[in-house]
Structure 1
Amino acid sequence: MTKTRNDLPQTRGETLLTDSGLETTLIFNDGFDLPQFAAYTLLETTEGRRALKSYFRRHLAIAADHGVGFLLEAPTWRASRDWGERLGHDPDRMARFNRDAIALLADLRAETPAVRPVVISGNIGPRGDGYVPDTAMTEDEAQAYHAEQIGWLAATDADMVTAVTLGTVAEGVGVIRAARAANIPVVVSYTTETDGRLPDGTPLGQALEETDARTDGAAAYFMVNCAHPDHFRPALEAGHGWLARIGGVRANASRMSHAELDEAEALDDGNPAELGRDYARLRRLLTNLTVLGGCCGTDHRHVEAMADCCLHGTSA
């Protein structure tokens, strides 16, 4: 059965929490080695699967405590063909990783009846380095590349797909066209530098408007991720109609630039309470902001602070 954006509760105004910095938590807090930042490799072992479930359960518990739903994002950010090849995994094995990731989330949804609704998203990452637009694909090339992973995910229990940390409009357009062809709702999340522009220099608002124009507005909504609110808030404050298309934010805890984060040897987890207050400010700017979660350096503490500030108006 074809799934549509209208099947997603967050597009109908229902607030959903989501998780935080999966890879940074697993590496810096849990001590896992994740070559190429590929969390999907943990699906191969009992220990790895246990760690993934523990991570998501911590976040689901926050949703249960606050009486809201949850968006489960699969650990498949690196589970596409090019990244798999770097780790010695052929396409058949990558297809299995994607299926196994969604199955793990489906199990978590079934075992957590106290949280409803729970939406399952197949997570997609950039073909290259999201911080550096080093893989300059055309829209057609991006569609052809991402269609493979989207096809794997569309054949599972995933309710939607979300492409995060994208740095070019062409890649966002390609993802959306591939998802539309696969009949699965899609969200595109762009990352910004400290100046509020995409890594390729496109202003955030222009990127959203161009993406919509080239895809007939087919994305369920847009998100911003992997940047601190201070980096993109000025762009939002100067924005207009495109602000209504932003339905989610997964910000970094750190104010460091992408280049600084790449070189950092220690995790900068910022200040959870401060980040929670930042999200409350963002919600006043973004009237359709319904998906709240974190990115690099954040963990369950940051998500709890977001929930406290945005859902209950506390000062965290």
Structure 2
Amino acid sequence: MADLLSTLLSRRDWLLADGATGTNLFNMGLEAGEAPELWNEAHPERISALYLGAIEAGSDIFLTNSFGGNAARLKLHGAQDRARELNRMAAEIGREAADKAGRPVVVAGSVGPTGEIMEPMGALTKASAVEMFHEQAEGLKEGGADVLWVETISAAEEFKAAAEAFALADMPWCGTMSFDTAGRTMMGLTAAELVKLIMKLPNPPVAFGANCGVGASDLIRTTLAFSAAGPERPLIAKGNAGIPKYVDGHIHYDGTPALMAEYALLARSAGATIIGGCCGTMPEHLRAMREALETREPGPRPALEEVVEALGGFSSASDGSGEDAPQRRARTGRRRR
């Protein structure tokens, strides 16, 4: 039997994913340095509200509150022995919310990076990484997740370890990397190199792409690079809602709902099938994105100049492949629409 995500992808030209987890939880009272995953037990009603916010805004997919739910990250909070349990809770709350939606909504089990550097540059072994990701995967599976979703990865070896772990859990999965260093991941991968990596995996994802990064413009440029490489799998675009700024003691993202609506349309025209937001993306952004995708026709593949005109300039002159890109503003001078 096909998984729910694959079924929806076979029926729809696009799917709307969710927005930010951290930004929304900070607005609910999460303190800096606090583990969001512990809220699955301490404040399940707030986690349910997080999920419902995305569902009610029109999301077809939402990610669970389990991004930092691996043993390495939880060890910082003395909760490394509770990884499987906390992931199960995250998915259970999500399963309940999705089942009440009145329409098919995919519960995607979020799996973030371990926070450690893998061998040979660091001390984390492949076996340890696979074990941690597998533990998370089993907890999310037990809680009722439809699909696993590894995100914000920068290293090829960590991405491959997650893929291996998800095969052990016998679960479909999606994967995104963060291209936040002059068009490359922190560990130096380009979009084209991720496509090559995907094509060689024995357990390839249902869909793949990019999340987070710098801003909406950069995310579209990365999506265009994916599309140009000719992948055979659906592409994911989950960009931040603008550029982060420190305002009155808080991080604020300057992307308006109108800007994110334009971003969603450009992401679709650039080749993305699953379109959502990352940091700073709130339900009001998602509603604008959904309306735009439903009411406006897709356009041709956008030129880089069109991306700049609609969303503002790029944070770097290159997408990582060596090709220059137009620059029309400093990062702090974004044009709003």
Identify the TM-score tier after normalising by the shorter chain: 0.7 to 0.9
Q: 1:19 deviation in Å?
A: 1.9
Number of the residue aligned with 2:30? 32
* 301 and 163 in structure 1: CA distance in 2 versus 1, 3 angstrom threshold: same
Q: 1:94 deviation in Å?
A: 2.4
> What is the one-letter code of the residue matched to 2:286?
V
Alpha-carbon separation, structure 2, partners of 1:225 and 1:176: 17
Alpha-carbon separation, structure 1, partners of 2:218 and 2:55: 28
Residues 41-81 of structure 1, C-alpha deviations (whole Å, 9 max, x = no match): 11222xx2222222222221222xxxxx6213110101111
The answer to whether the 8 Å contact 2:195/2:229 transfers is no
The answer to whether the 8 Å contact 1:10/1:290 transfers is no
Q: 1:18 deviation in Å?
A: 2.6
Alpha-carbon separation, structure 1, partners of 2:274 and 2:124: 29
Residues 201-247 of structure 1, C-alpha deviations (whole Å, 9 max, x = no match): 1111212212331x136211102101223224334434524455343
Alpha-carbon separation, structure 2, partners of 1:72 and 1:140: 29
Equivalences for 1:16-31 in 2 at 5 Å? 16-27=15-26, 29-31=27-29
> What is the one-letter code of the residue matched to 1:16?
L
Alpha-carbon separation, structure 2, partners of 1:136 and 1:225: 26
Is 1:58 the counterpart of 2:43? The answer is no
Structure with bigger gyration radius:
2
SS at match of 1:202: coil
Alpha-carbon separation, structure 1, partners of 2:73 and 2:18: 23
Is 1:80 the counterpart of 2:65? The answer is no
The answer to whether the 8 Å contact 1:18/1:70 transfers is yes
SS at match of 1:95: helix
Equivalences for 1:125-140 in 2 at 5 Å? 125-128=112-115, 137=124, 139-140=126-127
Alpha-carbon separation, structure 1, partners of 2:69 and 2:25: 17
Is 1:95 the counterpart of 2:84? The answer is yes
Number of the residue aligned with 1:42? 39
Number of the residue aligned with 2:283? 300
Number of the residue aligned with 2:108? 121
> What is the one-letter code of the residue matched to 1:40?
E
The answer to whether the 8 Å contact 2:216/2:242 transfers is no
Is 1:310 the counterpart of 2:293? The answer is yes
SS at match of 2:60: strand
Report % sequence identity. 21
> What is the one-letter code of the residue matched to 1:162?
W
SS at match of 1:266: strand
**Aligned pair partner of 1:250 in 238, 253, 263:** 238
Q: 1:5 deviation in Å?
A: 5.3
Number of the residue aligned with 1:105? 94
Alpha-carbon separation, structure 2, partners of 1:246 and 1:8: 10
SS at match of 1:155: helix
Q: Which fold has the larger relative contact order, with Cα–Cα distance below 8 Å and residues 6 or more apart in sequence?
A: 1
Number of the residue aligned with 2:184? 197
Q: 1:138 deviation in Å?
A: 5.7
Moved more, 135-144 or 12-21: 135-144
SS at match of 2:253: coil
* 234 and 191 in structure 1: CA distance in 2 versus 1, 3 angstrom threshold: same
Alpha-carbon separation, structure 2, partners of 1:273 and 1:243: 30
Alpha-carbon separation, structure 2, partners of 1:225 and 1:211: 16
TM-score, normalised via structure 1 length: 0.82
The answer to whether the 8 Å contact 2:210/2:238 transfers is yes
Structure 1, gaps ≥5 residues long: 64-68
> What is the one-letter code of the residue matched to 1:82?
A
Alpha-carbon separation, structure 2, partners of 1:24 and 1:185: 27
Q: 1:168 deviation in Å?
A: 1.0
* 171 and 79 in structure 1: CA distance in 2 versus 1, 3 angstrom threshold: same
- What value does the CA root-mean-square deviation take over the aligned residues? 2.8
Number of the residue aligned with 2:326? none
The answer to whether the 8 Å contact 1:196/1:231 transfers is yes
Number of the residue aligned with 1:66? none
Figure out how many residues of one structure are paired with residues of the other and give that number: 292
Moved more, 77-86 or 103-112: 103-112
**Aligned pair partner of 1:283 in 264, 268, 282:** 268
The answer to whether the 8 Å contact 1:172/1:211 transfers is no
> What is the one-letter code of the residue matched to 1:311?
E
> What is the one-letter code of the residue matched to 1:88?
G
Is 1:8 the counterpart of 2:6? The answer is yes
> What is the one-letter code of the residue matched to 1:186?
W
